[in-house]
Structure formats: structure tokens, C-alpha cells
Amino acid sequence: DPILKSRVAIKNGSGYNLSFSDLNATINYSGTRAEVSAALSQQNKKVLDLTGHLGANLSLRPWAFSVKGVDQTANLNLHDVDLGRWSGFFPAKAQINGLVSGQVSFSGTPRDPVLKGRVTVKNGSGSDLPVSDLEIRVSYAGSTAEVSATVTQQGKKMLDLTGQTAVSLSLLPFKFTHGGGRQTVNIAVDDVDMRQWAWLFPSKTPVGGRVTAALTLSGTLRDPVVSGKMAVRHVTGYILSFSGLEEAVSYAAKKATVPAGLRSQDKSILDLTGRAGMNLSLVPFEFTPGDMDVDLKTRGLKLSDLPIPKKPGVEFDGVLDATAKATGDLTAPQLAGGLTLKNGFLNLRNLGLAYKGLSADLGFSSDKIVINRVLLQGDKEGTLELTGQAKLNGWKLAGLAGKLTGKNFYIPYHKAISARMQPDLTLSGDFAAPRLSGRLTISEGQLNLDRLTDTGPSEIQVVGDQTNRNGLITYQEGESSTLTWLDPMVANVNVIIPKNAWVKGQGLDAEIAGQVAITKDPGKPFILLGTLRTVRGSYVFQGKDFKITDGEVAFIGLPEPIPNLNIQAVTRISTVDIIAKISGTATKMLLSCDSSPQMDRTDIISYLVYGAPASSLKDQQAFTADKAALSLTGQLAASELKELLAGTFKVDRFSIDAGGGDISKGSVAVGKYVAPDVFVTYRQGFQADQLHQVEVTYEINRHLSVETQVGNEKTAGVDVLWGYDFDFKSKDKDKNKDVNKK
């Protein structure tokens, strides 16, 4: 039956995330009564004190200790504790400030305690404590627990909570069970700024908006009754931006209802109503879903307001109306509904296409999406229509079966190839590996040989540091405008060209017709295979207009759409037919000349230049004809030499100047692109005493270029050239019609 007295005093204590100036504690035991008191000071100011007594039996020999079931008391008080000085108890990056005060009292017996507590926070601040004042009250007595809380921000109440529930609490031995009785909980949120609670949202984008809500929980924890309402105004920055959201929820008698409405600029864009059967218990927590019946309607929802990923160079929008109904089991619902899109548009800036009309009419169920109609149309782009259906496997697209039709649909397949077509195609497979088959009828098409053989861009965009230490210009080419979303496609399409498809450029202007097969494997480019015949046209050579009499353009299945050419054209001069034969490829055209009746090359050139054979010309004219024939011979020989030299020296241009008819006075020139906009030409005369000359042409942009020549002091120079191509229309007064001129 000992009597114990103890006192502990610590000054200037620190460590364990705590610092203090004084800590005093006393513990006394006498006559089955234990008493304890403690006080903690920081900077000579009391911030915590504890007092209390406990009934207990203590024996030191033999050792025994037990708590007596008599009344006991304990009181704990906090006095304006500065949270900023207790930062060690919070996460490392937490920013919390404020003054905390509180009182906790304990009385009764350990088996039937009476508890009361109150905590307040004043002048709160910091990103992790978005409140200025907080008060929490808790009490327990007679198997009933009560709680209340009030949150205030800058003098305005943000949250109010009150509740009461039946519980059973014993401290010795410790035991906590729910009493099974009824409880009530009320939570009210009044016009809260969501930006102050941004840490609750996973998105890194700041969330804006104001929330007002009320929630009531009643019944028992095993069979709760829940009802609540929430209104959100002017939400921005999270998935959707809208002006208002109103939602209500209720649960009772194993049935839940959830009506909700979404507004944008004071216009209703989404309504949701429904019910669902379920079994809900809070203690122990259990949730068993049952049948559901939910209806969703949206009106006037803009595509630009949806969280659809945006791609550079692609712009789209439209107004969406939709209905959806979900029935059956909550874990595997049966879906049915429809969707319409109107007043839409699609712009593909990289391809220069602007579709002013985009509309859709879809229906869907749990296993498929029915495409009643998807229509894409533009003024110059034509129309494209898709019908069919897509199979679903759960929430994933599993297969396609569609029909693609259109009228004068414009596709810029290549910078040198464009076409308007009437598609009649079938789309099948799935989105990961679509298949395209059928036929395309070309109503209008054009193959531009000049663009097909263009080796460099007309403009270069300089990025970053324009010069480096060695003075070189650095540049980066723009992004390719290829349709990468077509990469996984498999295609087998027959292209029919009845008329009005033209091959233009390099003196050639020919109409073609025929059929070409387009095939494609996944991850590979489109391949063209087939032969087109010439219908009509002309070829300009030496200022003469040759009429095309026969020819074909053959695509032989190369990754680049470069066809082989075999074209024959004729012009009549006096009593002689001069025949021009074009062969080779679109990028390497070969020209040969013939005549009927047969003549040598000098006479053919003489007819082209003077309209008569060389034997009938005067000396000066004959000399000029011989020079022209020699020059043509040099050019044809240069074409063959280029084929031989290109593999070794990788030259882009090789030519021979006849030297005024005297080959000894001629010269040879070799040229090559050293960069996409810099072309260098080296020219050397055939005589040993002739100096060499270097020419450099730099295309600053499509209109402006600089040419330099470096030889001797008489041949050196710099030229700045500016040019502009334009088209205009004028009235032909005689025929009273528009005439295109360049």
C-alpha cells in the first residue's frame, strides 16, 4: 500500500519535431487514488496543461495494478498553439498556419465514460488549410455520440455539420460498437470557391466554380436513408466548362434515385433521371447493386466543350443532341439510344481543307453502333457519306461494316496529284486495322509533273539560332502533312477514270482515261498499279504545238506515285510531219525526234526553227540550224551521261553547251542541291585556257532569290531576283467569255 510522489521538470527542450521552454509533470499515488498534472510552455507561454485523477489499486510486492470502477476525471487544455511551430508533425511540403485551442474532458467510469471535447482553429492559412476559422465539438454520454463542426473562411461560413448516433464505448477494456439505433447527420456547404480546395482534384489544371450542397443521413447504419442536393455554378478547368450543375440523390428502402441537370450559358444541355435498386449498409459496409433504369438526354452540347484531344492543324465543332437509356443490372447494363450532330465543321489546315458541313445520325445498343448517316461536305471539297454499323465488345469497338459514298469528293493525295471522285467503297475490319475496298470513279483529276519533280521546298522556316560558330545556316523542315491515322489501313480499291483527268507540266498537257488499282498494307504507303491511255492533248517543243496521237501513263507499283510515260505527238510543218516521242518516267522524261518522211536530225531541227530543210537555208541560217542540232545532241548526250555519273557523283543536273556550233568552244556544267534551297553549279570550258566559273543560287523564299557568280573580275557578280506568279481573268471582247491568263 505505497504512497508515491514524483515531479519532472525539463527546460529548453527540443527534438522529436517539438521544441519548448518548460515542461512540468507530477504524478502522486495514495490510498487507491492516482493524480496527474502536466504543463507545457513555449517561449514562457503555457500552451498545454493536463489534470486528472484515477481510482486504482497498486502493490509493489507482489506487483499488481488494477483500475477501480469508480468515477475519474481528466481535463486537457490547449492554449493558442501555433501550428507553424509544429510543422514537423505534418508532411514535409505541407503549408499550415493558425492558432489551435481546445478542451477535452473525461469523467464517469472506464466502462461507462462521459467525454466532451472542443477544438478551434483561428487565423488559419496555407495551401493545405484553406480555412481561417474552424470549430469542432464532440460529446459522448449514455450510449449517444454527438458531433458538430463549423468551417469559416474570411468571416463567411463555408461548411456546417451536425450529427448524432448511438454507439457503445468502453475504455477499459477498450470496446467500441455501434448501438444499432437511429442516427442523424446533416452537412451543409454554402457557396464554396472550388479553387480553395484544388488539392482534392487529381487534375493539375486549376478548377474554378462555386458549390452549394446539403446532405442528410438518417435511419440506421445498417439501413440508412440518404438525401442530398448539390448546385455548382460556373465550373471551369476540369473536363467540362459549364455555367451550372444541379444534382439530387436519395436512397431509401433499397432504392436510389439520381436526377441531375447540366446548364451552359443558362441553357439546359444535359438531363439525367433514373433509379437503381441496391442494398447499402454503412456498418459493416456492404454494397450490393440491383436493377437500374436511367435516362440521359443532352441538347445543344458543343463538341468543343467535350474533353476530346486536340491535334495540331485539326479544328472541329458542332452541336450534339443525344438520348441514352440504361436498364438491367448495374454491373452490366443494357444500353440503347441515339445521337445526332448538326451545324458542325471540320478544318484540316495542313491539307488546306475546310469542310463547312459536318453532321451525324447514330443509334446504339449494348452490342453495336448503327451509323444511319455521317455526312461531310464542303464548297470545293465535295461530299462524303458513311453508313453502316460498328460492333461493340463491352465498351470497345470490335468491328466495322460501313459503306462510303460521295460526290465530287476532293482528296489532295500528293502535292502533285489531286482528284475529285465519286466513291463507292466498303469499310470493314476494326479501328486498329481497317480494310477499304470497292471502287472510285474520278470525275476530275490532275497530275502536275512540275510539282512531282520539285526537289526542294519553296520556303524554309529558320528556327533556333540562325547561325552557329562556323557561320552555317541551320534550318528544320516543317512537319509532314501525311494522314498518319491511315497507317494501319489495308486497301484494295479500283480507280476508274472515264475522262477529265490531266497530266500537265514540262510542256505536256494531256487528258488520260483508264483504270488504276490502289493497294495498301498496314504501315506502308498507298501503291498505284495500272495503265492510263491518252485521250487528247498537246506537247510544246521548240515553240511548236505537237498534237498527241498516242500514248499511255503507267503506274508500276512504286511507293512514290511516279508513272512511266510513253507518249507520241505530231506537228505538221509544210509537207513534213515532225514526231516527238516522250518516254522515261514523270521525273526523268526522255525526248527523241523523228519525221515522216525520214530526215536527219539537222533537217528536223531546221524544220522546227525555219520551216525548211537545212539545204535550202542561207549560210547563217544553216549555221544556226547546225548549232541547234548540236545543242540538242548535247542535251540528249547529257541525259545519258547524267545516268552514268549520278551513281558516283550524285549530281542533280548535267548539261553541255554546244559553244555556238564549235564544240571546242563549248562548256560542261554540273549542278547539285547542297541544301533544299541552295543550288551550286560548276561550269568549265573545253579549252585549257578557259577559266572555270561557280554559280550559287539561294532561294530565300518562293518569291525572292540571290544568285552569285565567281570567276575572274569580269565574270564575278551578285544578282537579286524577285518574281511572282499570278492568275487573273479578263473578258474576251470578241467571244464575250472569261479567259484565264498567267
Residues 6+ positions from 329 with CB-CB distance below 8 Å: 289, 290, 291, 292
User: Rounded distance, CA 619 to CA 44, Å?
Assistant: 124
User: 36 or 236: whose pLDDT is higher?
Assistant: 36
Whether the CB-CB separation of 198 and 206 falls below 8 Å is answered with: yes
User: Rounded distance, CA 516 to CA 440, Å?
Assistant: 10
In total, the chain counts a number of residues equal to: 742
pLDDT at 564: 87
pLDDT band, residue 255 (cuts 50/70/90): very high
> What value does the mean pLDDT take over residues 45-69?
88
pLDDT at 483: 52
Whether the CB-CB separation of 372 and 362 falls below 8 Å is answered with: yes
CA distances (Å), origin 613, targets 69, 542, 547, 592: 138, 16, 22, 19
Across 120-134, 141-155, 541-555, least confident range: 120-134
Whether the CB-CB separation of 139 and 115 falls below 8 Å is answered with: yes
Calculate the CA 493 to chain-centre distance: 30
Whether the CB-CB separation of 230 and 211 falls below 8 Å is answered with: yes
> What value does the mean pLDDT take over residues 545-572?
85
Of 574, 562, 567, whose CA–CA distance to 592 is shortest?
567
DSSP calls for 347-414 = EEGGGTEEEEEEEEEEEEESSEEEEEEEEEEETTTEEEEEEEEEEEETTEEEEEEEEEEEESEEEEEE
User: Rounded distance, CA 651 to CA 426, Å?
Assistant: 46
pLDDT band, residue 175 (cuts 50/70/90): confident
Specify the residue for cell string 547561325.
467
> What value does the mean pLDDT take over residues 97-112?
89
Question: What value does the CA radius of gyration of the chain take, rounded to a whole number of Å?
Answer: 45
Q: Which amino acid is at 107?
A: S
Of 303, 410, 407, 396, whose CA–CA distance to 358 is shortest?
303
Q: Three-state DSSP class for 636?
A: helix
Q: Which three cell numbers stand for residue 606?
A: 531546221
Of 301, 422, 432, 322, whose CA–CA distance to 369 is shortest?
322
pLDDT at 590: 82
Q: 646-656 b/e with 16+ CB inside 10 Å = b?
A: eeeeebbebbb
Indicate if the pLDDT at residue 481 is higher than 50: no
pLDDT at 591: 79
User: Rounded distance, CA 184 to CA 219, Å?
Assistant: 7
Phi and psi at 723, nearest 5°, equal: -145, 155
Of 357, 433, 441, whose CA–CA distance to 404 is shortest?
441
User: Rounded distance, CA 229 to CA 184, Å?
Assistant: 17
pLDDT band, residue 130 (cuts 50/70/90): low
Is the torsion defined by CA of 10, 16, 18, 19 positive or negative? positive
Residues 6+ positions from 735 with CB-CB distance below 8 Å: none
pLDDT in tens, 73-103: 999 999 988 877 666 666 656 667 788 999 9
User: 558 or 26: whose pLDDT is higher?
Assistant: 26
pLDDT at 55: 87
pLDDT in tens, 434-473: 888 999 898 888 877 777 655 433 232 333 333 344 433 3
Across 405-414, 583-592, 675-684, 715-724, least confident range: 675-684
Indicate if the pLDDT at residue 522 is higher than 80: yes
User: Rounded distance, CA 261 to CA 270, Å?
Assistant: 6
pLDDT at 273: 93
Q: Which DSSP helix (H) or strand (E) runs through 68?
A: none
pLDDT band, residue 360 (cuts 50/70/90): very high
C-alpha torsion 590→593→596→598, nearest 10: -120
Indicate if the pLDDT at residue 741 is higher than 50: no
Q: Which DSSP helix (H) or strand (E) runs through 244?
A: strand 240-252
Round the average pLDDT of the chain to a whole number and report it: 78
pLDDT at 507: 77
pLDDT at 25: 95
User: Rounded distance, CA 138 to CA 183, Å?
Assistant: 15
Is the torsion defined by CA of 442, 447, 452, 458 positive or negative? negative
> What value does the mean pLDDT take over residues 504-524?
84
> What value does the mean pLDDT take over residues 584-612?
81
User: 741 or 126: whose pLDDT is higher?
Assistant: 126
> What value does the mean pLDDT take over residues 311-325?
90
pLDDT band, residue 386 (cuts 50/70/90): very high
Across 258-272, 293-307, 465-479, least confident range: 465-479
pLDDT at 474: 38
Indicate if the pLDDT at residue 578 is higher than 80: yes
pLDDT at 416: 72
pLDDT at 714: 59
Q: Which DSSP helix (H) or strand (E) runs through 631?
A: helix 619-649
Going by the DSSP 8-state scheme, the letter that residue 87 receives in this structure is G
pLDDT in tens, 181-233: 788 999 999 888 877 666 555 555 567 788 999 999 998 888 899 999 999 88
Provide long-range contacts, Cβ within 8 A and 24+ apart, for 651-654. Answer: 652/455, 652/679, 653/681
Phi and psi at 380, nearest 5°, equal: -100, -15
User: 665 or 83: whose pLDDT is higher?
Assistant: 83
Burial-class residue 729 by CB neighbours within 10 Å (0-12, 13-18, 19+). Answer: exposed
User: 535 or 462: whose pLDDT is higher?
Assistant: 535
Across 193-202, 315-324, 543-552, least confident range: 193-202
pLDDT at 647: 41
Q: Give the range with max mean pLDDT: 20-24, 34-38, 529-533, 614-618.
A: 34-38
pLDDT at 480: 41
> What value does the mean pLDDT take over residues 127-133?
68
Q: What percent of the chain is predicted at pLDDT more than 90?
A: 23
Whether the CB-CB separation of 414 and 431 falls below 8 Å is answered with: no
> What value does the mean pLDDT take over residues 343-369?
89
* Orientation of helix 619-649 relative to helix 601-610, angle to 10°: 120
Calculate the CA 645 to chain-centre distance: 47
Going by the DSSP 8-state scheme, the letter that residue 3 receives in this structure is -
Q: What percent of the chain is predicted at pLDDT more than 70?
A: 75
What is the phi-psi region of residue 152: left when phi exceeds 0, alpha when psi lies from -120 to 50, beta otherwise? beta
Q: Three-state DSSP class for 155?
A: coil
pLDDT band, residue 638 (cuts 50/70/90): very low
Q: Three-state DSSP class for 635?
A: helix
